[in-house]
């Protein structure tokens, strides 16, 4: 479920950005600029795939304590980037006007092709790298990711982008972003807490022991019960809300601090805008 929300949110943001730019360029009859726009999109997608492969290669180079340290840092960075993205989206209600202004400046410059190309490339590549980082974080917490859920999230986001910019129908984007922002606050909190857990395992942060353990024992056949944090329902809650059946004190405090801080900040900014 968490990967569905992540991919849906990231692909929708990229679709909206490219859709806004395409609509503006089409209205102003900038056909050459539109060609550069699509070149930027295609190259950004290729660069994102290459980045994913390199990330996996880098990951495979760590073992033991170094692996835990690397994973802990990646999880904390992912949580920080995700939290920043949530706040950024809450602040930027007039993203269409800002993108159109950037496109207009690029068109008016002597290097219009590079400007539009760069704008499209950076927008899509940023979302692609963020998606890789977030999906990897979910994989660490859940022990794997659902390809089907990820593809479904991406297809739904592209479909909504198509409806908005091609069909011209009204879509309640505010509701989508509000609901997904709240869910992503929990995802970011869980990522940070897991990052703290890995740094505890690596000996970087002191581990004062578990404050409780509500995980039920394994079944007789060696499988995990549904509500164990490695069971079907428990793993779903872990990926989506950062649930942990046996957290340490620092993990729990980290989760509470990030979740409450992000929610209060998001709520205040959303109310102001």
- For 106-139, write each residue's pLDDT tens digit: 766 556 667 788 888 888 888 888 888 888 777 7
Average pLDDT over residues 46-66: 77
* Residue 142 φ then ψ, to 5°: -95, -15
Kindly state whether residue 135 falls inside one of the protein's structural domains: yes
Domain assignment present for residue 229? The answer is no
Q: What is the pLDDT of residue 93?
A: 59
Q: Is residue 227 part of a domain?
A: no
Q: What is the pLDDT of residues 205-214, one digit of tens each?
A: 988 888 988 8
Residue whose pair of structure tokens reads 């990711």 in the numeric block: 145
Query: What is the pLDDT of the chain when averaged over all its residues?
Result: 81
Percent of the chain residues past pLDDT 90, beyond the cut? 12
Q: According to the model, what pLDDT value does residue 266 have?
A: 92
Instruction: Say what the pLDDT of residue 273 is.
Output: 64
Phi then psi for residue 210, to 5 deg, are -80, 140
Using the predicted structure, report yes or no on whether residue 49 has a pLDDT greater than 80. yes
Could you tell me the end-to-end alpha-carbon distance of the chain, in angstroms, rounded to an integer? 29
Contact 122, 102 (CB under 8 A): no
Phi and psi for 63 in degrees, rounded to 5? -140, 160
- Residue 153 within any structural domain of the chain: yes
Residue that is written with structure tokens 């900040």 in the block? 265
Total structural domains within the chain:
1
For residue 28, is it within any domain? yes
Instruction: Decide if pLDDT at 254 tops 90.
Output: yes
Q: What are 28's two structure tokens?
A: 């102003």
The yes-or-no verdict on residue 76 having pLDDT over 60 is yes
Q: Which residues contact 98 (CB under 8 A, 6 or more apart)?
A: 92
Does residue 1 surpass a pLDDT of 70?
A: no
Whether residue 52 lies inside any domain: the answer is yes
In the chain, % of residues over pLDDT 70: 87
Tell me the average pLDDT across 60-87: 82
- Domain with 11, as residue range(s), is 2-176
Confidence of residue 249 (pLDDT cuts 50, 70, 90): very high
Mean pLDDT of 248-261: 94
Is residue 22 assigned to a domain? yes
In a domain, 44, yes or no: yes
For the cut 90, the answer to whether the pLDDT of residue 265 exceeds it is yes
What mean pLDDT is predicted for residues 195-214?
88
């Amino acid at each position: 479920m968490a990967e569905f929300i992540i991919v849906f949110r990231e692909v929708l943001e990229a679709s909206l950005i490219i859709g806004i730019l395409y609509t503006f360029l089409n209205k102003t009859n900038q056909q050459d600029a539109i060609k550069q726009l699509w070149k930027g999109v295609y190259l950004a997608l290729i660069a994102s795939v290459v980045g994913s492969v390199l990330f996996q290669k880098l990951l495979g180079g760590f073992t033991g304590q170094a692996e835990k340290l690397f994973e802990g840092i990646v999880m904390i960075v992912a949580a920080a980037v995700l939290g920043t993205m949530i706040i950024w989206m809450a602040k930027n209600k007039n993203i269409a006007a800002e993108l159109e202004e950037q496109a207009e400046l690029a068109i008016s410059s002597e290097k219009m092709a590079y400007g539009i190309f760069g704008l499209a490339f950076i927008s899509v590549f940023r979302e692609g790298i963020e998606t890789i980082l977030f999906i990897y974080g979910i994989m660490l917490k859940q022990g794997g990711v659902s390809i089907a859920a990820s593809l479904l999230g991406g297809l739904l986001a592209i479909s909504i982008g198509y409806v908005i910019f091609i069909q011209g129908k009204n879509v309640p984007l505010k509701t989508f972003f509000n609901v997904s922002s709240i869910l992503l606050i929990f995802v970011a909190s869980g990522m940070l807490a897991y990052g703290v857990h890995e740094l505890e395992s690596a000996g970087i942060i002191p581990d004062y022991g578990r404050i409780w353990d509500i995980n039920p024992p394994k079944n007789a056949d060696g499988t995990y019960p549904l509500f164990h944090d490695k069971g079907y329902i428990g793993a779903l809650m872990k990926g989506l809300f950062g649930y942990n059946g046996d957290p340490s004190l620092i993990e729990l405090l980290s989760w509470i601090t990030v979740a409450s801080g992000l929610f209060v900040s998001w709520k205040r900014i959303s109310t102001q805008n």
